[in-house]
């Protein structure tokens, strides 16, 4: 549904994307995970023709985006990282005026706008101006604006950033229901749990490159063990020594990590060594990233 | 439709134009009343105030001389303000264009719609001013109705001209340059308030090359009914020529700015 080959983009001497390949299947929810500046948004923008690739090929639903941006964009729903709603218009007008850019007849546009407002529980706000919406409501409106043309492919650039936990749950639920309708969804995020929850497959990126691609399960299963003991302290070397009975630990920044198989584990020696923050938890995507890059995924 | 390497869609241009119209409708009075009164103040102050001290100009009363300029004025000032202030707000503050070009709308369409909207505002203003000026008996010929075409085509051209400047503006700071150093002299020295034959020869040559001169001259001919079609054809050719140059440049510059 979305295929790319050797896609690259540099802004001056910043190499934002360095030769990535993609093969995203119809109906798939595909995630991009990576720290700030990894190049996630740049990939998204190349797909909706806001950024022109320096090299490589890029197809959406069989249409060459570079040669025929107009046709490709007609099939895409775009939710950019920034809420670029039209502040001169009301909530509902933001949808109906946007529908006009796609050439959707007025009647259908109005019906869809009302359905979508309902879908995202914004019906009450339909005649409000954008400035009077909270950040989270604006985000939800941008989300449904991306659906007004009934796209085949939906691009979500950090859809839940700035949402409270409840709203995030709500949006996740909506994304899953869109997936059930067969929509292909590309999503970038900084949240492990979001990626693990929503994505059929995901790519972990850093510095313009894709490091690994796979299902969340496969990526986590590729780790040395299913569980992790994680400690944070001012004196990581000491913690490493105190936990030597757990095997060889790994240190990244102020964090120390041991991959451990199931079964009983004694954390006392580490606690006794004065490490206040220590816990055992299931391995997650963050650990995959740490293993690959030695860096934190979040920031 | 592809013209040279530009990609236009009439439907998309219209969709963006309608967005502007919808916004205009929601603040219709502030969009009509101020630009309606301003040229009237000029008519009184200059036409009748200064005019009382001025002998006839080219065989007309001074008020009669400047009346057509005040209609053409709408086609300079409306797009000259809208395609700078309005467009810049949408470009850098509201970032509307980034949302719009994520749809099938192209940058060419956006630029065309901006120029068209600037011109449309000019038409609305020109009609309001024209009605009052006609009521003062300063539009003696029925040919005056033809001024609307000067306003439409001239307005689109001025819109494109303005967009070239706008594309360079990082924010609102350099806006005064445009008003003081571009719009005001165009307004003053284009056969508007005095015949350019009063200028020194070099000034006259410059004036003949300015875009607004080619809008005022046919407006005055239509207003008076003293039509020389060869002159009007030349003026419209200038307007068309300027349009092609400014519009191509504006599209190129907006593409450079919006698509990285
Ligand atoms: N228009 C631009 N001009 C110059 N540099 C840019 C531009 N857009 C992005 N970059 C640079 O390209 C790199 C990748 O940026 P990008 O926005 O794709 O990252 P990201 O993975 O989306 O990060 P974030 O998680 O912060 O959104 C960064 O170094 C950024 O500074
Ligand atoms: Mg981003």
Instruction: List, for residues B3-28, the tens digit of each pLDDT value.
Output: 657 888 889 999 999 999 998 888 77
Please check whether residue A291 lies inside any domain of the structure.
Answer: no
* Centroid of ligand 2 to alpha carbon of A188 (angstroms): 8
Considering chain A, what is the average pLDDT of its residues?
Answer: 88
- Is there a domain that residue B24 lies in? no
Nearest protein CA to atom 19 of ligand 1, as residue: A37
Beta carbon of A40 within 6 Å of any ligand 1 atom: yes
Is A299 inside a domain boundary?
A: no
Q: Give the pLDDT confidence of A10-34 residue by residue, as tens digits.
A: 999 999 999 999 999 999 999 999 8
pLDDT surpassing 70 at residue B103? yes
Domain end marker among A174, A196, A220:
A220
Exposure string over A45-58, b if 16+ CB within 10 A, otherwise e: bbbbbbbebeebeb
In a domain, B118, yes or no: yes
pLDDT tens, A122-172? 899 999 999 899 888 899 999 999 999 999 999 999 999 888 888 888 889
Q: Is A147 exposed, middle or buried (0-12, 13-18, 19+ CB in 10 A)?
A: buried
> Is B1 within 8 Å of chain A by CB?
no
The structural domain count of chain A equals: 2
Please check whether residue A38 lies inside any domain of the structure.
yes
Tell me which residues have their CB within 5 A of the ion that is ligand 2: A 40-41, 81
Q: Do A216 and A270 lie in a common domain?
A: no
Whether A60 maps to a domain, the answer reads yes
Q: Which ligand 1 atom is the nearest neighbour of the CA of A12?
A: 4
* Of the candidate ranges A218-227, B118-127, B158-167, B217-226, the one whose mean pLDDT is the lowest: A218-227
- Nearest CA-CA distance, residue B260 and chain A, Å: 5
Q: How far is CA A207 from CA A19, A297, B34, B117, B180, in A?
A: 11, 12, 54, 43, 47
Residue A295 has pLDDT above 90, yes or no: no
Q: What is the pLDDT of residue A280?
A: 82
Nearest-angstrom CA–CA distance, B138 and B130? 9
Check B104 against A82: CB less than 8 A apart: no
* Residue B29 covered by a domain: no
Shared-domain flag, residues A191 and A179: yes
How much is the ipTM here? 0.85
Q: Domain for residue B151, yes or no?
A: yes
pLDDT score of A297 more than 70 = no
The count of domains in chain B is 1
- Host domain of residue B192: 2-18+38-259
Q: Is residue B27 part of a domain?
A: no
What pTM did the predictor assign?
Answer: 0.89
Which strand (E) or helix (H) includes residue B204?
helix B201-209
In this structure, the answer to whether residues A242 and A160 fall within a common structural domain is: no
Which pLDDT band, with edges at 50, 70 and 90, does B1 fall under?
low
Are residues A239 and A215 part of one domain?
A: no
Residues of B in contact with A86 (CB under 8 A): 19, 94, 96, 99
Residues A98 and A48 in one domain: yes
Tens digits of per-residue pLDDT, B151-183?
A: 999 999 999 999 999 999 888 888 888 888 888
CATH of the domain at A241: 3.30.70
pLDDT computed for residue B3 by the predictor: 60
The predicted-structure confidence for B238-259, as pLDDT tens digits, reads as follows: 999 999 999 999 999 999 998 8
Q: Domain residues for A30?
A: 2-220
Quote the pLDDT of residue B185: 85
| CATH number of the domain residue A205 falls in | 3.40.50.300
State residue B244's pLDDT score: 95
Select from A135, A189, A133 the least CA-distant residue to A159. A189
B102 with A80: Cβ contact below 8 A? yes
Same domain for A93 and A214? yes
Residue A287 located in a structural domain: no
> A229 lies in a domain?
yes
A161 and A52 within one domain: yes
> Does a structural domain hold residue A62?
yes
Q: Is the pLDDT of residue A299 over 70?
A: no
Residue that is last in its domain, among A193, A220, A247: A220
A254 and A164 inside one domain = no
Model confidence band, residue A271 (pLDDT cutoffs 50, 70, 90): confident
């Amino acid at each position: 549904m979305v295929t790319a080959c050797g896609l690259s983009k540099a802004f001056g001497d910043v190499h934002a994307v360095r030769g990535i390949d993609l093969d995203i299947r119809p109906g798939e929810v595909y995630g991009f995970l990576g720290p700030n500046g990894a190049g996630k948004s740049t990939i998204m923008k190349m797909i909706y023709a806001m950024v022109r690739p320096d090299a490589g090929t890029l197809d959406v639903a069989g249409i060459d985006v570079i040669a025929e941006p107009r046709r490709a964009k007609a099939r895409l729903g775009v939710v950019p990282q920034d809420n670029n709603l039209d502040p001169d218009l009301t909530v509902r007008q933001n949808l109906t005026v946007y529908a006009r850019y796609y050439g959707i007849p007025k009647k259908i546009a109005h019906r869809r706008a009302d359905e979508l407002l309902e879908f995202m529980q914004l019906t009450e706000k339909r005649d409000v101006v954008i400035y009077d919406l909270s950040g989270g409501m604006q985000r939800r409106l941008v989300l449904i604006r991306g659906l007004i043309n009934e796209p085949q492919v939906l691009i979500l650039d950090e859809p839940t950033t700035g949402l409270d936990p409840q709203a995030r749950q709500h949006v996740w639920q909506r994304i899953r229901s869109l997936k059930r309708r067969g929509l292909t969804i590309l999503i970038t995020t900084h949240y492990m749990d979001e990626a693990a929850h929503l994505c059929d497959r995901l790519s972990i990126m850093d510095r313009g490159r894709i490091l690994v691609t796979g299902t969340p399960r496969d990526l986590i299963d590729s780790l040395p063990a299913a569980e992790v003991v994680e400690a944070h302290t001012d004196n990581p070397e000491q913690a490493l020594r105190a936990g030597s009975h757990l095997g060889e630990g790994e240190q990244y920044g102020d964090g120390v990590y041991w991959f451990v198989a199931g079964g009983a584990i004694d954390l006392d020696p580490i606690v006794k060594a004065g490490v206040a923050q220590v816990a055992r938890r299931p391995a997650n995507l963050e650990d995959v990233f740490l293993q690959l890059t030695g860096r934190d995924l979040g920031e | 439709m592809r013209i040279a390497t530009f990609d236009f869609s009439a439907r998309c241009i219209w969709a963006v134009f309608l967005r502007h119209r919808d916004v205009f409708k929601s603040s219709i009075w502030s969009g009509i009343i101020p630009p309606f009164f301003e040229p009237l103040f000029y008519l009184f102050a200059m036409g009748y105030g200064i005019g009382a001290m001025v002998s006839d100009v080219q065989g007309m009363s001074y008020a009669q001389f400047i009346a057509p300029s005040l209609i053409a004025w709408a086609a300079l000032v409306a797009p000259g303000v809208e395609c700078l202030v309005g467009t810049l707000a949408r470009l850098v503050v509201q970032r509307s264009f980034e949302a719009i070009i994520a749809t099938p709308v192209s940058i060419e369409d956006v630029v065309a719609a901006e120029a068209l909207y600037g011109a449309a505002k000019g038409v609305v203003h020109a009609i309001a001013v024209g009605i009052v000026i006609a009521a003062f008996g300063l539009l003696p010929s029925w040919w005056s109705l033809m001024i609307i075409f000067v306003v439409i085509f001239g307005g689109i051209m001025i819109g494109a001209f303005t967009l070239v400047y706008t594309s360079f503006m990082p924010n609102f700071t350099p806006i005064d340059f445009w008003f003081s150093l571009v719009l005001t002299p165009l307004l003053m020295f284009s056969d508007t308030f005095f015949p350019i034959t009063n200028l020194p020869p070099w000034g006259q040559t410059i004036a003949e090359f300015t875009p607004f001169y080619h809008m005022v001259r046919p407006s005055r001919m239509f207003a008076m009914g003293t039509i020389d079609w060869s002159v009007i054809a030349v003026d419209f050719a200038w307007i068309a020529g300027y349009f092609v140059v400014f519009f191509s440049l504006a599209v190129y510059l907006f593409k450079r700015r919006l698509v990285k």
